Structure 1
Amino acid sequence: MKVALMGQNGAGKSTLFKLITGKLIPTSGTISVDKRLVVATAHQVIALVDMTLTVEEYFQKHLKGVEIHELHRRLATVLSVVNLKAPLDKIIKSFSGGQQARLLLASALIQDPDLLLLDEPTNNLDSMGIYHLTEFLMNYKKSVIVISHDAEFLNAFTEGVLYLDSFTKKIEQYSGDYNDVVEQIAVRIERERMQNAQMERGIQENKDRSNFFAHKGGKMRLVAKKMREKAEKMESEKVAIRREDKTIRSFIIPTQEGLVNEELRISSFTIMHDHKEITKTTRIFLVKNKHLLITGPNGIGKSTLIESLALGTAKGVTYTPGIRIGYYHQDFSTLDFNDTVYESFTKVLKEIDGVINEQHIRTVASGFLITQEH
């Protein structure tokens, strides 16, 4: 059985994976997993402690007690599945983000699990990587639970959906592929809305009649009481219509003041080809309010180029003096996971101009649905 695990942000999808694997202990209820089953998880990012391992050491960690020749045999198979050429002596941190995503997936597959848990597996995969993963999952003979927002990917192989509702605290089960389930949910929500609208009319009618008879006195007050009770019962029977995720509000990244029209100029850049660095010459001018898209296969050097641009170390690049660069890293390595959200925000503001604007912090945080609970 291959199912998608869906739910609103914060509903507990990733937490459920941790409960299944035993990394978290439930505070109430029970999680029952047959101890004879092999359960493997493909995480979203490689742990920092694993970044200095070689490919061979990394997979030995996930496949303990296996002879080295058997490890190499299995490794060749799973690396082929994820479409990655990875020298066994290469250090993990030297791979690109997309290549690391494939290593994460391979680390789960090499265990030949009875239950495979995938948390956003298409993140950082290029189109070819997604194609290979989809093909593998379509032919996989064991059970899979996958968390993903990629509708086309899910629709290719899923047979059902488990929906975690953060508002009702319940898990709903649906049969069918992803598109079928989305349609089922939409039909159900519309049916519940119509049912509630009909009940609302009945509730209001009983309230109006109750108020009318309450002023008549005598036995009419008993009639009014029964109608109030009927209205209250109908109110309690209304269906709790599922509420979908709130979305972050639209935002604008303002243009930095005091800059000339041209912000940076790229005359050359480096790419990787057959594990060798190759320098390419070009003439790219990035000006105000313009956007530059960098594309290419995993491992060619896209993230390396972006990081060097952010750090100001890119060769062949001329920056406008005083330019301020913001950097969103795909593995969140620019964040200190020991910091609170507030501490992260204040660090950034101190780096910019040293001024901590509490109101600005709250405004930005609320726009991204970050509350005091975070």
Structure 2
Amino acid sequence: MLIIEKLNKSYGQETVLNDVSLTLDRGVIAGLIGANGTGKTTLFTMITSIEEADSGRVSTSNNEKIGYLPQAVSVQEGRSVDSLLQEALSELRELESRMRELETRIESGEAAAAEEYGVLTGRFEALGGYDIEWKQRMIFDGMGLGEIDRSRPVDTLSGGEKTRLSLAKLLLSSPDILLLDEPTNNLDIASLEWLENYLAQYRGGVMIASHDRRFLNATVNRIYEIDEHTHEINEYPGNYDDFRSVREAERKQRETAWEEEQAELKELKQVIRTVAASTGKKNRRRDNDKFAHTFKTERQQQSRSRSIQSAKERLERIQANPVQRPVKPMQFRAGPVGNEIRSDSVLRAEGIVKRYGGRTVLNGVDISLRFDSRLVVTGANGTGKTTLLRILTGEEIPDSGTLYTSAGAKIGYLPQESEIPDEETVLAWYRKGRPGGEDEFIFDLVTTGLFRYDDIRKTIRTLSLGQKRKLELARIIAEEPNVLILDEPTNHFSLDVIEELESALAEFRGPVLAVSHDREFIRKFGGEVWDLRDGKLEKGKE
């Protein structure tokens, strides 16, 4: 069991986690969600002692072993695939060696040796020591690494292969508690489905930070959400769909409360204006009773004064703690009306060939986008999907083939990995090379709902991976493209941003080409699905 008690973490004046407490029992698979930058990765690094908490306590019952897959995998240069595997099995090898020693001592009649041997054999069995060769093959095949050369240097692998190798290594070590930070980012659909089945049978506790809704629905039985405003953690039973139903009801309540509060504010301001205006008017006396008239006038003025004071006090209370205004929906603007592209051939590539060394990645690929195209490209890791997008956007040059782009096309490209320089601030990079005043850019950036006023002066190196990607997305929105090319557009985004992005894409007036392994995104996207395999692009099954 993992036990977290009143964990707190701040960076300077910025609170990241506030009094976070939870327990993770054996058999519980929990999803950890929250907006980008709310501290999901920070929580994992404090559980694993990579970072220290400001206060609070993390503990496990019975000294249970914690295994952690970070979001950004780093591997030492020069290491081979096999050396990493042997590292994963180090505890088993040590147990094996000690058990051989104890067997010799048991034969000599040492009672203490027999007792220790019983403890070690229980641990050896729990780690899968008696069927480790089978387990190793099963995990490697499931991760799509079955054919990989074990002597190959790890730094020659693709990013996706490194992630899958790191995950395979972690699963082989058989930790009691698994912490997985965005484990699906570099998994193809076959590996995703294998991992879902594997986790369903896992006997320990698991916590997963993930943006993949279908993966969460298939695996988790509890949701922990880090609130981006209070920085506290909230617990919800069930999977992601169960959580979303609760949050959707809460969102509708907030919208209703905001609308009712705005109506009340308008009414209070009107009361203050009306009563104040009437107070300044003199009442005309209609009889000769001067005393009665004066008394009546004073009573009316006192009543008006009380009404104004009461309205002002209520107004001040509301303004001191207003209901948060609902965020404006994300929207891709394809420039002014009429700027959308209407060509039947917006972007076309024919016979594209690309080689790296002796390996042919793209072998005669043809693809065409018309004004209303919605295309998703899928395929296993390393098949050339990103290479194809980089060629289409002019980031790479093919070895052969032709590329045509319509003169009216303005492409917005979201790369798979962030390409923003770390030394700049959020605002400086957002406005770079674009005319306009600072206040205008601040307003535009904040109204996207992707950043708050507190974020705009931060340096980019202080942002999470998800926040960097949100900045790239905000820049694309601001540039008003009429063609969108998106490489794994759900990677590193929090779930609320993904759902906003899906809605914005549905309303976009232009062609969209996306590479994705996110099954829920592909379903909602609703376009044609093409598969890149063995250097060829083929239309998928309907």
Q: Same fold (TM over 0.5)?
A: yes
User: d(CA) in 1 for partners of 2:424 and 2:261?
Assistant: 49
In the other structure, the counterpart of 1:284 is 366
Tell me whether 1:39 sits opposite 2:125 in the alignment.
Answer: no
Tell me whether 1:301 sits opposite 2:378 in the alignment.
Answer: no
Change (3 A) 1:325 1:208: closer
Change (3 A) 1:271 1:293: farther
Between 63-72 and 137-146, report the one with greater CA deviation. 63-72
User: d(CA) in 2 for partners of 1:262 and 1:198?
Assistant: 47
Secondary structure at the aligned position of 2:56 is classed as coil
Give unpaired runs (5+ residues) of structure 2: 1-27, 97-128, 280-297, 340-344, 460-542
Bigger radius of gyration: 2
Secondary structure at the aligned position of 1:146 is classed as strand
User: d(CA) in 2 for partners of 1:338 and 1:75?
Assistant: 43
Change (3 A) 1:295 1:149: closer
Contact 2:188 2:380 in 1 (8 A): yes
1:371 pairs with 448, 451, 456, which one?
Answer: 456
2:161 pairs with 99, 107, 121, which one?
Answer: 99
In the other structure, the counterpart of 1:269 is 353
Change (3 A) 1:178 1:326: closer
Tell me whether 1:9 sits opposite 2:33 in the alignment.
Answer: no
Tell me whether 1:80 sits opposite 2:141 in the alignment.
Answer: yes
Change (3 A) 1:342 1:180: closer
Q: Match of 2:33, as an amino acid?
A: M
Between 147-156 and 33-42, report the one with greater CA deviation. 33-42
User: d(CA) in 1 for partners of 2:420 and 2:264?
Assistant: 54
When normalised by structure 2's length, the TM-score is 0.50
Instruction: List aligned pairs for 1:42-121, cutoff 5 A.
Output: 42-47=69-74, 49-50=75-76, 52-61=78-87, 64=90, 67=93, 73=133, 75-85=136-146, 86-121=148-183
Q: Match of 1:82, as an amino acid?
A: M
Tell me whether 1:330 sits opposite 2:416 in the alignment.
Answer: yes
Change (3 A) 1:339 1:67: farther
Change (3 A) 1:329 1:186: closer
Secondary structure at the aligned position of 2:203 is classed as coil
Cα deviations across residues 346-370 of structure 1 (Å, max 9, x unaligned)?
9xx7xxxxxx558599949936636
Cα deviations across residues 188-247 of structure 1 (Å, max 9, x unaligned)?
444566678778999988x979x89x9849998998899689959985998967x88777
RMSD of Structure 2 on Structure 1 (CA): 5.1
Contact 2:355 2:361 in 1 (8 A): yes
Give unpaired runs (5+ residues) of structure 1: 256-260, 350-355
The answer to which structure has the higher strand fraction is 2
Tell me whether 1:178 sits opposite 2:240 in the alignment.
Answer: yes
Instruction: List aligned pairs for 1:343-362, cutoff 5 A.
Output: 359=436
Percent identity between matched residues is: 22
Tell me whether 1:316 sits opposite 2:342 in the alignment.
Answer: no
Secondary structure at the aligned position of 1:174 is classed as strand
Q: CA deviation at 1:154?
A: 0.9
Contact 2:348 2:404 in 1 (8 A): yes
Between 216-225 and 93-102, report the one with greater CA deviation. 216-225
Q: CA deviation at 1:12?
A: 1.5
Change (3 A) 1:249 1:76: same
Change (3 A) 1:200 1:176: same
In the other structure, the counterpart of 2:225 is 163
Q: CA deviation at 1:262?
A: 9.0
2:214 pairs with 143, 152, 169, which one?
Answer: 152
Contact 2:353 2:399 in 1 (8 A): yes
